[in-house]
Amino acid sequence: MYKLILKMAWKNSFMRLSRTLLVIIMIGVSMSMMLGIQGIYDGMVNNMVDKNRRSDSGDITIFAKDYRVNRDLLYRIKNVHEIKNEIQKMDGVEAVVLRIRADGLLSTARKSSFASVIGIDLKEEEHFGKFSEFLKEGTVDLQKQGAIIGVELAKTLKVRVGSKIIFSTQDGSGEINSIALYIRAIVQTTNIALDNSAIFIDIGQLHKFLGTASTEATQISIRGNGEKLYGELKSKYPNLDVKTFLELQPMIKQMQDLMVIFNSVTFFIVMSVVFVGIFGVMYVSILDRIREFGIMLSVGMHYKYIRLQIFFEALFVGLMGYLSGAVLGAVILVYLKNKGIDLSSFSDALEMWGYESVIHGTIKISYFTTTFASIITASLFSILIPLRKIKKLNPIEVIKADK
């Protein structure tokens, strides 16, 4: 019996071929477009998150107490090498870097701007976050008073590779001090704060300039299993300020929350398209076959078998729409992941907001599984009203009315 119902449902699904194909195309195109938009949006956010982690905070960052409130060089972490060695021995830790930072004034012969000088060890930064991948222009080199400058800060000061700059700030003893630096490279980290105001120099040179000890730092950044390490680090270093990536980047947390809302709206749109499309096809199909259903009921076929047949018809149409959308969507997502969308004409505006000029998408299995569930749900809900019409049929009256 069920085999017969399946066979009838399959044939009836394509009884009006042009109408069914139109619905399948409508579902497939709307689904693929939504997958593409979702992939691009996720790609933008994931790229920003990845580069922010690699260029600055990692998964967890440790500061001295009150440093983030006062941003004063007085609040430094002591015995950083000992702490670093302890952290590196913890399970789940991939890399640890030490940085020292000071805020001050960066000047050229014609312009000046607020800036933050950050002392780094290039070798450790390369292991921590592949620092060389941020290179936009020049060579990653900090020898002989070399400095690396953020792309937006370079635009503000109108400097380029080879330019001389002067950085002035209070040193560790509270005295105003200045240092001459030469730009070796311009980097784009997509971290707005760094791109707008950071210059990187060798950490040893910065310690010497600030008059601070090599055993001190203002920041310890950690890459690894943040969820596992956070509680352990909080309990191990109660006198230090331990922060997760999202605690330091509330804007990205808001973007991720907006992404959830966006995805929900996307699924609602897809479900609406599927619901309207299949509802129209099934309702018209049932009206065309109203006498057929009346005869089936009059000869003793139970309503549940007719209901099952209609369910299968809707599922077939929904599944065909899903498969076409999944194939087309997968092609779009693969293209977006490998080639991306080139928005070079808007590169200045994008860089200002922390995005790259070429935006690459991402692919997640959840895109397809969630959309599958949405389409199947919409397909089943779309036939509830047509089924009620069949259930209320009076077989004798329907047969008589059609004579």
Query: Mean pLDDT lowest for which of 64-73, 129-138, 346-355, 393-402?
Result: 393-402
Same domain, yes or no, for 263 and 211? no
Domain span holding position 273: 2-52+252-401
Same domain, yes or no, for 153 and 286? no
Q: Which helix (H) or strand (E) holds 107?
A: strand 93-107
- Find the CATH number of the domain harbouring 208: 2.40.70
Same domain, yes or no, for 281 and 334? yes
The pLDDT of residue 354 is 60
Same domain, yes or no, for 273 and 353? yes
User: Residue 107 above 70 pLDDT?
Assistant: yes
Q: Which residue has the higher pLDDT, 185 or 38?
A: 185
For 320-347, write each residue's pLDDT tens digit. 889 999 999 999 999 988 888 877 776 6
Query: Mean pLDDT lowest for which of 89-93, 155-159, 316-320?
Result: 316-320
- Nearest CA among 28, 3, 24, 17 for reference residue 316: 24
> Is 183 within a domain?
yes
Is residue 177 classed as helix, strand or coil in its secondary structure?
Answer: strand
Q: Out of 215, 233, 261, pick the residue that ends a domain.
A: 215
What angle is formed at CA 18 by the lines to CA 13 and CA 22, rounded to 5 degrees?
90
> Is 128 within a domain?
yes
CA dihedral 339, 345, 348, 354 (to 10 degrees): -30
Report the DSSP pairing between strands 146-150 and 176-187.
Answer: parallel
Same domain, yes or no, for 179 and 270? no
Same domain, yes or no, for 304 and 363? yes
Same domain, yes or no, for 95 and 210? yes
What angle is formed at CA 262 by the lines to CA 269 and CA 129, rounded to 5 degrees?
140
β-pair partners for 199:
117, 149
The pLDDT of residue 349 is 63
| Average pLDDT value for residue range 107-121 | 93
Q: Which amino acid is at 392?
A: K
d(CA 274, CA 73): 60
- The distance between the two most distant Cα atoms of the chain, rounded to a whole number of Å, is 105
> DSSP string spanning 149-173?
EEHHHHHHHT--TT-EEEEEEE-TT
> Is 165 within a domain?
yes
Same domain, yes or no, for 257 and 384? yes
Same domain, yes or no, for 152 and 204? yes
Q: Which residue has the higher pLDDT, 164 or 51?
A: 164
The pLDDT of residue 359 is 80
β-pair partners for 100:
119
Q: Give residue 395's pLDDT band: very low, low, confident or very high (50, 70, 90).
A: low
For 55-89, write each residue's pLDDT tens digit. 888 999 999 988 888 888 888 999 999 999 999 99
The pLDDT of residue 25 is 87
d(CA 183, CA 147): 5
- Measured over the CA atoms of residue 276, residue 267, residue 38 and residue 191, the dihedral's sign is positive
Same domain, yes or no, for 88 and 192? yes
Q: Which helix (H) or strand (E) holds 395?
A: helix 395-401
Same domain, yes or no, for 93 and 44? no
For 213-272, write each residue's pLDDT tens digit. 999 999 999 999 888 899 899 999 999 999 998 888 877 777 778 777 877 787 777 777
The pLDDT of residue 256 is 74
The pLDDT of residue 397 is 56
Is residue 381 classed as helix, strand or coil in its secondary structure?
Answer: helix
Q: Which amino acid is at 327?
A: V
> DSSP string spanning 303-354?
HHHHHHHHHHHHHHHHHHHHHHHHHHHHHHHHHHHHT-EE-GGGHHHHHHTT
Is residue 200 classed as helix, strand or coil in its secondary structure?
Answer: strand
Q: pTM (2 decimals)? A: 0.74
d(CA 189, CA 360): 16
Q: Out of 215, 236, 260, pick the residue that ends a domain.
A: 215
> Is 374 within a domain?
yes
The pLDDT of residue 119 is 95
Q: Which helix (H) or strand (E) holds 102?
A: strand 93-107
d(CA 95, CA 337): 27
Q: Which residue has the higher pLDDT, 38 or 120?
A: 120
271-285: b (≥16 Cβ within 10 Å) or e: bebbbebbbebbeeb
> Is 190 within a domain?
yes
Q: Out of 169, 198, 215, pick the residue that ends a domain.
A: 215
User: Residue 126 above 90 pLDDT?
Assistant: yes
Q: Give residue 401's pLDDT band: very low, low, confident or very high (50, 70, 90).
A: very low
* Percentage of residues of the chain with pLDDT beyond 70: 93
> Is 109 within a domain?
yes
* The total number of structural domains that make up the chain: 2
**For tokens 């699924």, what's the residue?**
267
Is residue 120 classed as helix, strand or coil in its secondary structure?
Answer: strand
Same domain, yes or no, for 165 and 269? no
